[in-house]
Amino acid sequence: MMARRSLMVGFGGYLPDRIVTNDELAARLDTSDDWIRARTGITQRHIAGPNDTAVSMATAAASRALEYAGVSAADVDAVIVATSTPDQAFPATAVRVQAELGLRGGFGFDIAAACSGFVYALSTADALVRSGQVEKILVIGSEVYSRIIDWSDRGTCVLFGDGAGAVLLSATDGAGPEGILSTHLHSDGTTGDLLYVDGAVGRRENSGFLRMRGRDVFRHAVAKLSDSVDEVLAAHGLTYTDVSWLVPHQANLRIIEGVARKLELPPERVVVTVDRHANTSAASIPLAMNEAVRDGRIRKGDLVLMEALGGGLTWGSALARL
């Protein structure tokens, strides 16, 4: 009997209508378009409107993933949402999405691993498929970082945007080469103060803004992401030349380029959306996947390597053949 494996069969994304350019930020902050581009590669970001929520964006992305796959919502067994910006402490964003999609069975839950959330959620979903507990499962990243940003802090507010991305996984008997080959997760709680939010539901005396020591995060990011990529390739006896596409977390173009250089991957094999989306945290990888699959860059049979690092610090990688 062949081992079960998870196929990535559906892709969807949602970006709010409102676009905020660097020039718009420069009009009210001590910054400039040139300064932001040079340090981050970002030119604009999408910002949630009054009717955009973590639930509404996740639902829109999930609906598009189901449409792409030609799968009815009634056939979905579970929903996992990776988010650090839920609309409520509970119920989980996932069960709200479950209701919006009209799912009457199965289950849903959230995962909070900051910018690594999608890789963590993908790993969890893959394990559920391999165990035989689910046949089809939605994995979603949905973030509304604009609502936890200190808009007077030019060191952080220029970096982030809002959006949601979704992937539908479907079980296969593993007879073919396609599917998620493996995932590898890590965290280091001693570095938790490098990137965090200074408030929570249980600590109302704090303002709840995102805080970051950017230089330290950058230093950790390039090293840890490179190691994570080496780890997942070594697990399958592969080299950098075997990778068709690198789909990294879209935090900063300098980090993406640093990892690509270490991997000796040319720019044309790296999916980049950070210039237009900014950092959408757990939504960034599925948004990038959705774009690259739909525009024809990523095709059936391609070997795709995904990696991310976020607050915690958390980091991880995933390897999949479409």
Q: Is 206 a catalytic residue?
A: no
Set 22, 46, 115, 277: catalytic member: 115
- All structural domains of the chain, each given as residue ranges with its CATH number in brackets, are 5-172 (3.40.47.10), 179-321 (3.40.47.10)
For 16-40, what is each residue's pLDDT tens digit?
999 999 999 999 999 999 999 999 9
Ranges in the chain, pLDDT < 70: 1-2, 201-207
Set 46, 184, 220, 249: catalytic member: 249
Q: Is 115 a catalytic residue?
A: yes
Query: Is there a contact between 65 and 12 (Cβ–Cβ < 8 Å)?
Result: yes
Report the pLDDT value the prediction gives residue 198, as an integer from 0 to 100: 85
For 157-198, what is each residue's pLDDT tens digit?
999 999 999 999 999 987 788 999 999 999 999 999 988 888
Set 46, 157, 184, 279: catalytic member: 279
pTM value?
A: 0.95
Q: Is 249 a catalytic residue?
A: yes
Report whether the peptide linkage leading into residue 313 is cis, meaning its omega lies within 30 degrees of zero.
yes
Nearby residues of 49 by Cβ (< 8 Å), 6 or more positions away: 16, 17, 18
How many CB atoms are located within 10 Å of the residue 127 CB?
14
Report the pLDDT value the prediction gives residue 2, as an integer from 0 to 100: 63
Cα–Cα distance measured from residue 179 to residue 59, given in angstroms and rounded to the nearest whole number? 24
